[in-house]
Amino acid sequence: MFYGLKRDEIVLMSVVGTLLCLGLLMVFNASSIKAFNAYGQSSHYLLRQLIFAILGGAALFLCARFDYHWWSKLTLPLVVVSIGLLVLVLVPGFGVNIKGATRWIKTPLFNLQVSEFCKLSFVIYLSVYLAKREGQLGDFKRDFLPPWIILGVVIVLLMLEPDFGSSVVLGALTFVLLFVAGARLKHLAILLAIGAAGVAVAIAGRGYRMDRVTSFLDVGGKGVSYQLKQSLIAYGAGGVQGVGAGNSVQKQLYLPEAYTDFIVAVWGEEFGFVGVIVLVVLIAALLWIGLKISRSAPDRLGSILAFGLTLFLVLQMTINFWVTLGLLPTKGLTFPFLSYGGSSLCVSLAAVGVLLNVSRQTR
């Protein structure tokens, strides 16, 4: 399985493979009751996730074989296609509305969540942009502002879906990548203030967003905070060692998103504090090996790209984890490799493929 891979690549594939296997088991575990009630087959979501894993594995293989330097020539098409898809999903007849959000385009195989493809495309675009401007981020209008303009267009389209979580992830990724690439702190401070004001306006403009922001401070009763309340009950029931694999009570239709956004809560209930520590170790291992690949990359593009993709995965894991613990408002973000979702899984595995390619070109 690991023939021909270097040590860093073996570690990366081991961590991702472990998360993926745990994810498949947990998707079946957390979704079987809902799947049986809805489709008469308890393995419905597992079978779909297996198909997504195969497609994602193919994407990983192709990206691992594709020289990452060629992404420099594909950034414009990626950005154009991403923005085009974000526009298309808002067109009546193309976009699929699920639970009040129009984030998906229906395809013959599955519903494509456009924002997932867009996030990966933007990380690649920004990495290429910053790699070409080594030591040239001093001019605000010429060098610093262009990626923020594109990001602004993307975020406006995302907010129309609405997809607040992806907007936050992209904003945070852009800020950190620009900081690491050497952007001036004064410029970053200006845009941080503008971004904070934009977030405040976006939250105040929609009542349900304000409810989400405040619900993690008050988890009593039904309504917006109901999911968070059930999530915390799951963690509390898990204790130190958990209630045992397959014995979760919250997955029995108490926790609405048990196999997607809140799958980590089911994990915490069944495997307790020990299981949560295992998950934290896996996240830390992914961060460590990703940063190691970034530091060892043969050039600036490889270094920034590896750092950006690692942050792309780890940031979403961390946000999702913190949301289930009530440390952040609910965002609608999945846990890469663990949560159910075809678009997220395929894109996450593709990102790992690019990371592998950077590592393979390291001397």
Full-model pTM = 0.92
| Tens digits of residue pLDDT in 201-246 | 766 655 555 555 555 556 554 555 788 889 999 999 999 999 999 9
| Tens digits of residue pLDDT in 135-178 | 777 777 888 888 889 999 999 999 888 888 899 899 999 999 99
Asked, for residue 18, whether it belongs to a domain, the answer is yes
| Tens digits of residue pLDDT in 80-129 | 999 999 999 998 888 888 877 788 898 877 788 999 999 999 999 999 99
Supply the DSSP string of 178-229, one letter for each residue. HHHHT--HHHHHHHHHHHHHHHHHHHHHSHHHHHHHHHTT---SSGGGHHHH
Exposed e or buried b per residue across 164-194, where buried means at least 16 C-beta atoms within 10 angstroms of its C-beta:
bbbbbbbbebbbebbeebebbeebeeebeee
Asked, for residue 97, whether it belongs to a domain, the answer is yes
- pLDDT at residue 319 tops 90: yes
Asked, for residue 308, whether it belongs to a domain, the answer is yes
At residue 161's C-alpha, the angle toward residues 150 and 48, to 5°, is 105
Question: Domain range spanning residue 82?
Answer: 7-360
Tokens 């020990």 correspond to 274
What kind and span of H or E run contains 335?
none
Asked, for residue 317, whether it belongs to a domain, the answer is yes
Asked, for residue 75, whether it belongs to a domain, the answer is yes
Higher per-residue confidence, 335 vs 98: 335
User: Of 11-15, 26-30, 35-39, 226-230, which range is least confident?
Assistant: 226-230
**216 in Cβ contact with 228 (< 8 Å):** yes
- Write the secondary structure of 68-124 as one string of H (helix), E (strand) and C (coil): HHHHHHCHHHHHHHHHHHHHHCCCCCCEEEECCEEEEEECCCCEEEHHHHHHHHHHH
Structural domains of the chain, count:
1
Asked, for residue 242, whether it belongs to a domain, the answer is yes
pLDDT for the residue numbered 211: 59
Tokens 């690549």 correspond to 9
Asked, for residue 1, whether it belongs to a domain, the answer is no
Asked, for residue 331, whether it belongs to a domain, the answer is yes
